[in-house]
Amino acid sequence: MTIQKIQIFDTTLRDGEQSPGASIEPAQKIIIARQLAKLGVDIIEPGFPVSSPGEFSAVEQISRELQGTEIVGFARAVKGDIESAIRATRDAARRRLHLFISSSDIHLDFQLKKSRQEVIRIAREMVAFGKQSVEEIEFSPMDSTRAGMEFVLELVEAVIEEGATVINLPDTLGIALPEEYEALFRTVRTQARGGDKVRYSAHCHNDLGLAVANSLAAIRSGATQIEATINGIGERAGNCSLEELVMAIDTRKATLQVETGIDTSEIYATSRMVSRTMHFPIAYNKPIVGRNAFQHESGIHQDGLLKNRNTYEIMDPEAMGIPRSMIILGKHSGRHAIKHRMSEYGIEVSGEQLDEVYTRFKQVADEKKIVTDNELLRLVGEATATQHDPYVLTEVSVQTGADEACSARVGVRTQDGAEHVVSASGTGPLEAVIRSIQELIPVAAQFEDLELHSLSTGEDAHGEAVVSILHEQQRHQGSAIHKDIILAAATAYVAACNAALLSSARQRQQQQV
């Protein structure tokens, strides 16, 4: 059986950006668009050109620059919108005009205040108008899943007759069930006049958590294009998540008999870029890119994973560019996982020493829930009277002022017992601390990313800091939990540096052997 290619239509920069609080500047759109092209999406909808001069400019520049990707100009079924979309995309090597108009009675009665026949007339006229300048016309009857089959068929037939080449049947409110959405596509494809001469696209919202399932249902009934966003960002509960859809197809290719052209190794980098740029944090338990998606605390799961990854994982996170952090140490972890984590740092303990480490570990885990690598190495050091970390943070103090730069004083102890202290300033307390650490630890200059999370509320609240650095083309992470978020960030930064240094040392030892 032939494998069908599914085109991925990315609307992160249009529908995704419509999420409250997700708006970004035109220059940031261009950076994300470049990454989307690197990811391998087939089509990019970079914005709504008529909405603002900045939006028009961003779509125009993306059209000029990304000559290997089809660019979409989004427009209402209004001449002014269409003219703006056509102008903004005029330099694209391949372009498409995407027109939409409401189709459900509730939209027609309360929003458009037009009859069905008026909507059909407008759709006909605007598709014909757009066709004068752009060959590829995508038409979307908005809210099609609540419009009624008879009217959807009539509207689709009208726009096909005027030259529409792609029919998108959007589940605008995310109300459809997979079997209903599948039936909608099947009926339109087989019963609409000219329905066999156009391509079909699905655009699903996630209000009931069914966006990916509905998109797969559309594929089963003939859709060859899926419209999605990075991290599932979008209005209300969001759109179909690109990474979830792509990995569902990739993982179940033999069953679905379809594939995409996405470079899965770029998934994580793209997800992180969109999350940071739009200031939208990713839920811990989000499939594919959530921090817990490939992490395991249960002792039974950890034991199985250490013996064979496939026991509890159906995908390879590293193939998606996700750092390998399979085992999370917590109160449910067993001796096997703890011993394995220590061995990753070249530390071998057994017998009474392992029992001592395990006892100390359980005490900390009951209090802090998660035991970071930095904390584990401290516990091992206490049990063995040895400092295993290249650097141990010994002092952090910060001085702030309303109108002055902040200053920080940071101290570390090296493995030979020497104490080092430096001071640095910055525009904020965190920057001052980071600069101090960078002076103390040369590898720390490769700082990449910082995440801060609140783990609780009230007077006893704790914050978690996760720091990523790049060292010798490899990403390393460190994490720490503390009531003082600045101290947590500093500890996590030093932990990431230690992980990088220990990793390099292990690699050198292996090469010598």
Cα separation, 103 vs 124, in Å, equals: 14
CA angle 502, 464, 372 (to 5 degrees): 35
DSSP 73-120: EEEESSHHHHHHHHHHTTT-SSEEEEEEEE-SHHHIIIII---HHHHH
Q: Locate tokens 């066999």: which residue?
A: 196
* CATH 3.30.160.270 residue spans of the chain: 391-512
Cα separation, 302 vs 363, in Å, equals: 20
Q: Which of 213, 116, 218 is nearest to 167 (CA)?
A: 218
Q: pLDDT by residue for the chain (513 residues), tens digit each?
A: 689 999 999 999 999 999 888 889 999 999 999 999 999 999 999 999 999 999 999 999 999 999 999 999 999 999 999 999 999 999 999 999 999 999 999 999 999 999 999 999 999 999 999 999 999 999 999 999 999 999 999 999 999 999 999 999 999 999 999 999 999 999 999 999 999 999 999 999 999 999 999 999 999 999 999 999 999 999 999 999 999 999 999 999 999 999 999 999 999 999 999 999 998 889 888 999 987 777 766 666 666 766 777 777 788 888 898 776 656 787 888 888 888 778 777 788 778 888 888 888 888 888 767 787 777 878 888 877 777 788 999 999 999 877 678 999 999 999 888 999 999 999 999 999 999 999 999 876 678 888 887 776 676 778 888 888 888 877 788 888 888 999 999 999 998 898 888 878 777 777 776
In total, the chain counts a number of residues equal to 513
Supply φ then ψ for residue 334, to 5 degrees.
-105, 180
User: How much is the CA Rg of the chain, to the nearest whole Å?
Assistant: 27
- CATH assignment of 9-278? 3.20.20.70
The string of pLDDT tens digits covering residues 119-151 is: 999 999 999 999 999 999 999 999 999 999 999
Can you tell me whether residue 462 is helix, strand or coil? coil
* CATH 3.20.20.70 residue spans of the chain: 9-278
Q: Which two tokens stand for residue 37?
A: 């092209």
The string of pLDDT tens digits covering residues 429-486 is: 999 999 999 999 987 667 888 888 777 667 677 888 888 888 887 778 888 888 899 9
DSSP conformation class of 437: H
Q: Are 411 and 393 in contact (CB under 8 A)?
A: yes
**Which residue type occupies 226?**
I
| CATH homologous superfamily, domain 391-512 | Alpha-isopropylmalate synthase LeuA, regulatory domain (3.30.160.270)
Cα separation, 216 vs 221, in Å, equals: 9
Supply φ then ψ for residue 119, to 5 degrees.
-65, -45
